[in-house]
Structures are given as structure tokens and as C-alpha cells.
Amino acid sequence: MMNIRLVPNLTFDSSTDHFVLILYVLSGWGTDEKVIISILGHRDSTQRKLIMLAYEELYQENLIDRLKSELSGDFEEAAIRWMLDPVDRDAVMANVAVKNFVTPDIRVILEIACVRSPSELLAVKQAYHSLYKRSLEEDVAMHTTGDFHKLLVALVSTYRYDGDEIDSSLALSEAKILHNAIKEKAFGHEEIIRILSTRSKAQVNATFNCYKDEYGASITKGLMGDPKDDFLAALRVVVQCIRSPHKYFAKVLNDAVNKQGADEDALTRVIVTHAEKDLNNIIELYFQRNSISLNHAVANHSSGDHKAFLLTLLGAEDL
Ligand SMILES: *[C@@H]1O[C@H](CO)[C@@H](O)[C@H](O)[C@H]1NC(C)=O
Ligand SMILES: *[C@@H]1O[C@H](CO)[C@@H](O)[C@H](O)[C@H]1NC(C)=O
């Protein structure tokens, strides 16, 4: 049972059970993570926004700040990511990633730049301005060098056309340009970067398809080379994010659970950012690839409140 200390004279009904959380967090009885998980984990983004507003109005305090002081570890991070508006969440994740520029974090920037729609990317950049009084572009530019710099600055700066139209002869000629650069191992070639960063996703995908038809192997194969080459790995992520994002995320999740100690950051990121969108597609591909359900993998590899929270977002809290 919850130990709720009610605020006097406050009326609420069952449809406003968010007050339960509000009151609970405020009660001096110690935080009950299970209650927080069961309430927040079952609220969509509009409802969560209402909870935040109601909380702020009642207590002149930001609920996220409160959660930061009440929770800890991987669960704290997941709960806070979940409470943020999706666009703000991306801006926050991008900021953490640029400030801490090492290989795994580059994926965060690439996912935001290549998986989100062009207008979503624009919204994330606007949120970044409001939150940090700087642009994502300048932060990425300041924290990168060499080929990474060229690629990442181009990808975060772009505003691609978002239509479905495809120019087949252009796809053919650009497949050839890509193939020539790859053959010469000129992976940081400005033409590779121009094509990947400026063409519409439908057009780039058509180019990848032509590449495979013309040269007998996928562009991803062409970008294999040295497995320790981080720049090649980044190019493969770009290709996968544009071509088949669900497959890409299924792989990120699989890598995350198979890592020693599990990569909780990656698990949180993929599950939280897709829970209200296309997580079911990712779950399905995950099962196809691994013959084990994502629910079971998470149940097996995570622990404590973080595990309970992720399973709730997966709709598998009974595991
Ligand atoms: C890319 O092309 C392949 C093959 O036609 C198709 O299956 C896939 O859905 C396309 N992806 C995108 C993002 O258009
Ligand atoms: C659970 O994790 C252990 C250790 O990582 C592994 O050996 C086992 O196969 C996993 N089971 C499932 C069902 O994933």
C-alpha cells in the first residue's frame, strides 16, 4: 500500500490519479519506486505533460527535478528521459552525447539526424537552442575533427526533402559515385558525405538499391573493412538508420543485452524513445533475429527498478 499524505482540501477523482503520484513523491515517507513505475509507465506523453503541469502548479517545483532528487541510477535516467517531451528528450540526449564524444555516443547523434524525420530534426534543433542557448551544429562542430567532423556537421545541419519521389537515373549515377569512392577507400570523400547528408531518404535508399543491383553487394558490405575503424562503423550506422531503422534498433538492443553487464543506456534510449511509436516493429524484428523475445532478454539482463520500468514500457510488467 502507498503511504500518501494528502494535501488538505484538495479534491481529486480516479481520473486524476496523477495527483496520487504528486502527493506521494511529496510525502515524506520515502519514495516508492513501484508506484512511480506503475503510474508513469502507464501514461502517454499528453498525460505525462498534464502531470508535470499539475505538479508545477501545485508545488511550484519541477517534477523532473524532484524525480532527480528522489531516484537514482539507471532507473532515474530512464524515468527522466520518459518524462521529457520527445523533442526535448532528443535535445538532452544529443547534448549529453556531444559533451562526451566517444564512439558509442556518436550513435545517438546519428540516430537523431538520420532516423527522425527532417521536421523532427528541425524541432530537436530548436529545442536545443532553447535549452542550451547554443546550436547543436556548433556543439557538434566544436567537439569533432577530421572525417567525423565533416560527416556529423553535415548530417545535423541538413534539412532534407521529405517526399517519396525518386529519380532513378540520379540514383544510378550516385550509386556509381559511392562505389568509386568506396573502391578507393576514400570513405571520408566529400561526395559520400554530400549524398548521405543532403538527398531525401527515399532517394538515398534508391541509390543504395541501385548500388546493390549494379555491384552485386550491398553498400554496407562495401563499408565493412577494418572492424576497428570507427568512421566506417559510423557510415554503416548512417546507412542502416536511413534504410531500415527498425532492424538497426533491433541490433542495438541485441548488442546492448549481450554486452558484459548490459548497456543500460542503449536499452533505455531505444525503449523509451520508441515506446510510443514503433517499438512493436522493433520487438518483432528482434524476435526474428534472435529467437528470444525482447521482454525475456530485458528481464534476463536488467535488474531492479530499471528492469521493472523497462518491462512496463514494453507492456510486460508481469515478467
Ligand atoms: C528501401 O528500399 C527497400 C527495397 O526496395 C525497401 O524494402 C525499404 O523499405 C526502403 N526503405 C526506405 C526507408 O524507403
Ligand atoms: C540469460 O542470461 C544468461 C547469462 O548472460 C545466458 O546464459 C542465458 O542464455 C540467458 N537466457 C535467456 C533466456 O536469455
- Residue intervals in the chain for CATH 1.10.220.10: 4-83, 86-159, 162-243, 245-304
Instruction: Choose the weakest-confidence range: 4-18, 44-58, 269-283.
Output: 4-18
Cβ neighbourhood burial of 261 (10 Å; 0-12, 13-18, 19+) = exposed
Q: Is pLDDT larger for residue 208 or for residue 67?
A: 208
Assign domain 162-243 to its CATH superfamily: Annexin (1.10.220.10)
Mean pLDDT value across residues 17-28: 58
**Ligand nearest 205 Cα, by number?**
1
Atom 1 (ligand 1): residue with closest C-alpha? 205
Q: Which atom of ligand 2 is nearest to the CA of 297?
A: 14
Domain 86-159: CATH class, spelled out? mainly alpha
Give yes or no for residue 28 having a pLDDT over 80: no
Question: How many CB atoms within 10 Å of residue 175?
Answer: 22
CA angle (318 as vertex; 314, 319 as ends), nearest 5: 80
Query: What spacing in Å lies between the alpha carbon of 300 and ligand 2's midpoint?
Result: 6
The domain 4-83 is placed in CATH, from the list 1.10.220.10, 3.90.1150.10, 3.40.50.300, 3.40.50.970, at 1.10.220.10
- Tell me yes or no: is domain 245-304 CATH 1.10.220.10: yes
Instruction: Choose the weakest-confidence range: 122-131, 160-169, 202-211, 253-262.
Output: 253-262
Assign 10 a pLDDT band (cuts: 50, 70, 90). Answer: very low
Mean pLDDT value across residues 113-120: 98
Assign 99 a pLDDT band (cuts: 50, 70, 90). Answer: confident
The per-residue pLDDT of the chain, averaged, comes to 89
Atom 8 (ligand 2): residue with closest C-alpha? 300
Give yes or no for residue 3 having a pLDDT over 50: no
Atom 4 (ligand 1): residue with closest C-alpha? 209
Atom 2 (ligand 2): residue with closest C-alpha? 300
User: How much is the pTM?
Assistant: 0.90
Q: Is pLDDT larger for residue 158 or for residue 16?
A: 158
Q: Which atom of ligand 1 is nearest to the CA of 242?
A: 13
Write the DSSP string, the chain: -----PPTT----GGGTHHHHHHHHHSTT---HHHHHHHHTT--HHHHHHHHHHHHHHHSS-HHHHHHHH--HHHHHHHHHHHS-HHHHHHHHHHHHHHT-SHHHHHHHHHHHHTS-HHHHHHHHHHHHHHHSS-HHHHHHHT--HHHHHHHHHHHH----------HHHHHHHHHHHHHHHHTT-TT-HHHHHHHHHS-HHHHHHHHHHHHHHHSS-HHHHT-S-TT-HHHHHHHHHHHHHH-HHHHHHHHHHHHHHSTT--HHHHHHHHHHHTTTTHHHHHHHHHHHHSS-HHHHHHHH--HHHHHHHHHHTT-TT-
- Among residues 36, 8, 156, 5, the alpha carbon closest in space to that of 94 is found at 156
Known binding residue 261? Answer is yes
Give yes or no for residue 30 having a pLDDT over 70: no
Query: What spacing in Å lies between the alpha carbon of 259 and ligand 2's midpoint?
Result: 12
Instruction: Choose the weakest-confidence range: 72-86, 99-113, 141-155.
Output: 99-113
Question: What share of the chain has pLDDT > 70, as a percent?
Answer: 89
Give yes or no for residue 40 having a pLDDT over 60: yes
- Among residues 41, 40, 29, 33, the alpha carbon closest in space to that of 3 is found at 29
Q: How confident is the model at residue 226, as a pLDDT?
A: 86
Instruction: Choose the weakest-confidence range: 103-112, 191-200, 279-288, 293-302.
Output: 103-112
